[in-house]
């Protein structure tokens, strides 16, 4: 009964959290959306007023076609990148976002055959990626989690719970610096239109496998070493996901040690072989328990004189 009460409170708290997030995002974004819509309408009316030879219906059709193509990463602007979105480096970047479930949505298959291939490719690639990440994180746990905790507990004499708390904080700070702050500074330097907040936002959204697609690296015009840049970002995503999983697994182990998981999960079910019978049966009662061993003393220890000749 207690476990169902805890589950009900969790679900209720989760729904409240979703509603709170929806209200905050709606309050922040709705006014900006309305202002932007009004601005675009005014620009459209000014353009039609200054260009009386332009038919409004044909302009609408043209804009719809441009917007539809832009969703697939194709743009006709002069400052847009004219390189193909499906060269080998870009395709590898797309494949990495597909199997890691990041899925920015900026570059998507254009053909039906490409969409069908993505289904079968992800069907195998997503579990395969999870297997690779799990195997890698398991070995990283032995090096970066178990070994330091074991060392400070046995060789330094620290309490295991205190060691796990300090270790989790240190590991989280290292991952935050090495996989969020430092990459954000690099993206901020490479992507001229990104602020540091934009770059940090991209790193966080990517490593959490959310992948909104509003910021995608390597899409600006005349970027040097663009193919190498795309491949490097793909490897950054894989390494970053390993680091995030390492932090999550470490937190889970620390929560187990401190008894936090017992508050939310059902108790472990023991095997039948590990359970002792409550009632004593005839078979179990007929088995004679072995007598306890008595220590050997001078009176009970057999000597050479007791051996039959």
The CATH number given to whatever domain includes residue 179 is 1.10.287.70
List Cα–Cα distances, 165 to 178, 242, 252, 254, in angstroms: 20, 21, 12, 7
127 class by beta-carbon count within 10 Å (0-12 exposed, 13-18 middle, 19+ buried): exposed
Residue 259 φ/ψ region, left for φ over 0, alpha for ψ in the -120 to 50 degree band, beta for the rest: left
Tell me the torsion sign for CA atoms 239, 240, 245, 247: positive
pLDDT beyond 50 at 152: yes
Average pLDDT rounded to a whole number, residues 237-262? 82
How confident is the model at residue 151, as a pLDDT?
82
Cα–Cα dist 176/193, whole Å: 23
Measure the CA–CA gap between 151 and 144, rounded to whole angstroms: 11
Is 18 among the domain residues?
no
Reported as a single tens digit per residue, the pLDDT across 106-141 is 777 878 888 889 898 989 999 999 999 988 988 898
Q: How confident is the model at residue 101 (pLDDT cuts 50, 70, 90)?
A: confident
The answer to whether residue 126 sits within a structural domain is yes
Please answer whether residues 250 and 141 qualify as being in contact, where contact means their C-beta atoms are separated by less than 8 angstroms. yes
Q: Collapsing DSSP states into helix, strand and coil, what is residue 80?
A: strand
In a domain, residue 164? The reply is yes
Please check whether residue 210 lies inside any domain of the structure. Answer: yes
* Tokens matching residue 216: 């995608």
Query: Does any domain span residue 150?
Result: yes
In a domain, 104, yes or no: yes
* Alpha-carbon gap, residue 211 to 204, rounded angstroms: 9
Beta bridge pairs of residue 13: none
For residue 237 the two structure tokens come to: 């995503």
Structural domains counted in the chain:
1
- Count Cα neighbours of 294 within 13 Å in the Cβ-side half-sphere: 7
- Other CB atoms within 10 Å distance of the CB of residue 15: 10
Is 13 inside a domain boundary? no
On whether the CB atoms of residues 191 and 220 are closer than 8 A, the answer is yes
219 within 8 A of 202, measured Cβ to Cβ: no
Tell me what the mean pLDDT of segment 176-184 comes to.
94
Tell me how many helices (H) and strands (E) the chain has: 10, 0
Q: What is the pLDDT of residues 253-309, one digit of tens each?
A: 877 776 666 666 655 544 444 444 444 444 444 544 555 544 444 444 444 344 444
| 23: in domain | no
Domain that holds residue 179: 83-262
106, 73 in Cβ contact below 8 A?
yes
Q: What is the DSSP letter of 272?
A: G
Other C-beta atoms closer than 10 Å to the C-beta of 75 total 15
pTM for the whole structure: 0.69
pLDDT 10s digits, 192-237: 888 999 999 999 999 988 877 778 887 776 677 878 888 888 899 9
The string of pLDDT tens digits covering residues 33-89 is 888 888 888 888 888 888 888 777 887 888 888 777 776 666 666 555 556 677 788
């Amino acid at each position: 009964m207690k476990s169902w009460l805890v589950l009900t409170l969790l679900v209720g708290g989760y729904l409240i959290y979703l509603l709170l997030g929806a209200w905050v995002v709606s309050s922040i974004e709705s006014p900006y959306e309305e202002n932007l819509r009004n601005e675009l309408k005014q620009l459209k009316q000014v353009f039609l007023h200054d260009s009386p030879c332009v038919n409004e219906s044909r302009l609408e059709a043209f804009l719809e076609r441009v917007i539809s193509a832009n969703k697939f990463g194709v743009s006709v602007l002069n400052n847009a990148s004219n390189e193909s979105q499906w060269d080998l480096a870009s395709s590898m970047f797309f494949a990495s976002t597909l199997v890691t479930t990041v899925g920015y949505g900026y570059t998507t298959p254009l053909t039906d055959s490409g969409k069908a291939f993505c289904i079968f490719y992800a069907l195998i690639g997503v579990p395969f990626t999870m297997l690779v990440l799990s195997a890698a994180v398991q070995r990283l746990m032995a090096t970066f989690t178990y070994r330091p905790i074991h060392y400070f507990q046995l060789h330094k004499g620290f309490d295991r719970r205190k060691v796990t708390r300090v270790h989790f904080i240190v590991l989280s700070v290292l991952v935050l610096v090495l996989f969020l702050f430092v990459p954000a500074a690099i993206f901020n330097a490479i992507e001229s239109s990104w602020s540091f907040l934009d770059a940090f936002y991209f790193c966080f959204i990517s490593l959490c496998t959310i992948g909104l697609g509003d910021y995608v690296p390597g899409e600006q015009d005349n970027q040097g070493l663009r193919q190498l840049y795309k491949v490097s970002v793909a490897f950054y995503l894989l390494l970053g996901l390993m680091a995030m999983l390492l932090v999550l697994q470490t937190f889970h182990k620390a929560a187990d040690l401190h008894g936090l998981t017992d508050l939310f999960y059902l108790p472990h079910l023991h095997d039948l072989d590990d359970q002792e019978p409550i009632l004593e049966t005839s078979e179990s009662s007929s088995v004679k328990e072995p007598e306890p061993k008595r220590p050997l003393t001078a009176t009970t220890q057999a000597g050479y004189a007791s051996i039959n000749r």
